Amino acid sequence: MNRIFNAFKKVPKAVYGIFAVVAMAIIVPTVLNAYGPNRTLFTRENAAPYVTFNSITNSDPYGYEPRFVQVKDVTEGTAFNADSVKIKSGHTYEVFLYYHNNAKSSLHLTAENAYARINMPAEIHKGEKANVIGYVGASNANPKEVWDEVEIVGEDDLTIRALGDSGKIVGAPNNPINGKALDVNKLLSKEGHPLGYNALDGKVPGCAEYSGHLLMRFTAVRADFDIKKKVSETGKNNWQKSIKAKNGDIVDFALSYKNTGSVHQNNVSFHDILPKGLSLVPGTVEWYSAHTNAQWKKPNDENHLLSVPGMNLGNYAPKGNAYVKFKAKVNLDSCGTHALKNVLKIYTENGTREDNATVYVENPACTQSSDTLKITAINATTFNFNTIYKAEGATLNYVTYIVRNSNGKEVAKIKGENGKTEVNNFVMTNSGTYTVEAIVTVTRDGKTIDLTGDCKGSFTISTPTDNCKIPGKEHLPADSEECRPNGIVLPKTGIGGLMSLIAVGVATAAVAYIATNKKVFKTLRKK
């Protein structure tokens, strides 16, 4: 750090001025960006010689006109704030927007097609910052449009909703439009809402007596809801996230929704997605809410539950809830153990959520167990696979063996012969641990079925360099007696073996050199 300071000491004084200019270029826009655009400002004593809005720095009674937008929390009764306002769930806020044609009254200049508009976010997330921005403009103004903003900060994930009947205009005491209602939708549009004096006709004369301000309100609400999906053995009301069942069983499903937010949620729809293997029992769909007078009721068309956009159950206030129940039948024609996941989706105007419940089914018509796969090592790299299976009323087609490495990547897929379960002499030379999965394919009732039981095994291949290199003896260790041709142990070919050979060669050459060089020999002998 001292080096940095010392470096600055050596900087010419003229450069400090450049640093200051750069710093101002960075810092000042941060301040100035609260309103815009950059424009000529005036005073009450020296008004504008042309039509311009909100550019006087000491107007009476407003004061500094470029900051012409303010927001306050009506619920807490706070004062208007032009800088930053915290937005809380369930609170109501008011926006203030001031307008003033700053042209000298003696010039008799009228703003034409004058308007005001407000822009604000539709939602704000917890901790997020956004802006409420107000605009005032006219077709003959210079600049044509001016703007100002107020920062808002969300204290939760919130939806912002304008109150449609809250807009009004407030002018000077003798202003004919004083107290008139404004169309909030127009005020929030790109075109904006017309301003005026005698009427809201877009004509605003120059002078403070023709100035005024707009008011509108918005609320911040938290839109949220919970959903649940559970399953039970039929008639037992033992609701769980998952149960076990058999083919042909009837199971009960319960679906629920609750509005946990602070705003009404409209057009709440339930959509249930039944997986293959589960089918709706006709006539069993019922629903329950305040709309059914707290009694179970059958819908007009239960099939809407199984299709998009689902079964519409109406609108719900905060803490309101709705329930749906129905029965489904397990209907599987495939063998093995199956996880039948039933998915519930609930759609609202504030988003979509989903939940699920699972029915586990093991079809007894055909089963496999984890110990039915037999892996036999013929040597270090060669294996035989065989599978024992049970499939009542079925005929074996073939067995497929899938081999995967330690990362789960498929490295081999071997289809056995028709009518046989074994595969012989499978070779794997790459070192590592491998898993083998057996898939038994059978025909039952004219249908081809894959048995999907947990039929797996594993084997390990040692590092090939540790094995004997002599053909027919690869399964033996490289240093075993049987791997020595003519009784001579072969050197290892790794880096250690190579360095040993080099050392031996160097030593031999050195001895030969000494023996043939007389001077060296004499020197060694004297020592």
DSSP string of 429-461? -S-EEEEEEEEEEEEETTEEEEE-S--EEEEEE
Q: What is the pLDDT, as a whole number, of residue 89? A: 87
Please state the φ and ψ torsions of residue 514, each to the nearest 5 degrees: -65, -40
308 pLDDT exceeds 60? Answer: yes
Cα–Cα distances in angstroms (integers) from residue 215 to residues 118, 182, 381, in the given order:
10, 9, 84
Q: What is the pLDDT, as a whole number, of residue 204? A: 96
Cα–Cα distances in angstroms (integers) from residue 518 to residues 51, 512, 513, 526, in the given order:
114, 12, 10, 12
15 pLDDT exceeds 50? Answer: no
Amino acid at 171: G
Interatomic CA distance for residues 234 and 266, integer angstroms: 32
Of the given ranges (35-49, 87-101, 269-283, 387-401), which has the lowest mean pLDDT?
Answer: 387-401
pLDDT (tens digit, 9 = 90+) per residue, 160-199? Answer: 889 989 999 998 777 888 999 999 999 999 999 999 998 9
Burial class of residue 199, CB neighbours in 10 A (0-12, 13-18, 19+): exposed
3-state secondary structure of 513: helix
Instruction: Give the confidence band of 363 by pLDDT, cuts at 50, 70, 90.
Output: low
Q: What is the pLDDT, as a whole number, of residue 313? A: 95
Mean per-residue pLDDT, 46-50: 97
364 pLDDT exceeds 90? Answer: no
218 pLDDT exceeds 70? Answer: yes
The answer to whether the predicted template modeling score (pTM) of the entire model surpasses 0.85 is: no
Q: Could you tell me which residue, 281 or 365, shows the higher pLDDT? A: 281
Instruction: Give the confidence band of 465 by pLDDT, cuts at 50, 70, 90.
Output: low
Q: Which two tokens stand for residue 4?
A: 């940095």
Q: Could you tell me which residue, 326 or 26, shows the higher pLDDT? A: 326
Q: Could you tell me which residue, 463 or 90, shows the higher pLDDT? A: 90
Among 13-17, 138-142, 219-223, top mean pLDDT goes to: 138-142
Interatomic CA distance for residues 290 and 281, integer angstroms: 26
Cα–Cα distances in angstroms (integers) from residue 392 to residues 267, 296, 308, 365, 413, in the given order:
50, 44, 40, 5, 26
491 pLDDT exceeds 70? Answer: no
Of the given ranges (67-71, 109-113, 240-244, 378-382), which has the lowest mean pLDDT?
Answer: 378-382
492 pLDDT exceeds 80? Answer: no
Q: What is the pLDDT, as a whole number, of residue 40? A: 97
Instruction: Give the confidence band of 466 by pLDDT, cuts at 50, 70, 90.
Output: low
Mean per-residue pLDDT, 99-108: 96
Instruction: Give the confidence band of 473 by pLDDT, cuts at 50, 70, 90.
Output: confident
Instruction: Give the confidence band of 34 by pLDDT, cuts at 50, 70, 90.
Output: confident
Question: What mean pLDDT value characterizes the chain?
Answer: 83
With left for phi above 0 and alpha for psi between -120 and 50, is residue 108 left, alpha or beta? left
Q: Could you tell me which residue, 315 or 369, shows the higher pLDDT? A: 315
Which among 440, 393, 397 is positioned nearest to 419, based on CA atoms? 397
135 pLDDT exceeds 90? Answer: yes
The β-bridge partners of 369 are none
Q: What is the pLDDT, as a whole number, of residue 50? A: 98
Instruction: Give the confidence band of 380 by pLDDT, cuts at 50, 70, 90.
Output: confident
Instruction: Give the confidence band of 320 by pLDDT, cuts at 50, 70, 90.
Output: very high
Q: Could you tell me which residue, 395 or 521, shows the higher pLDDT? A: 395
Please, which residues have CB within 8 angstroms of residue 221's CB and are 6 or more apart in sequence? 89, 90, 158, 159, 161, 261, 262, 263
Of the given ranges (115-119, 309-313, 450-454), which has the lowest mean pLDDT?
Answer: 450-454
Interatomic CA distance for residues 252 and 508, integer angstroms: 89
CA dihedral over 49, 54, 59, 61, signed as positive or negative: positive
Furthest-apart CA pair in the chain: how many Å? 130
Instruction: Give the confidence band of 454 by pLDDT, cuts at 50, 70, 90.
Output: low
Q: How many CB atoms lie within 10 A of CB 226?
A: 13
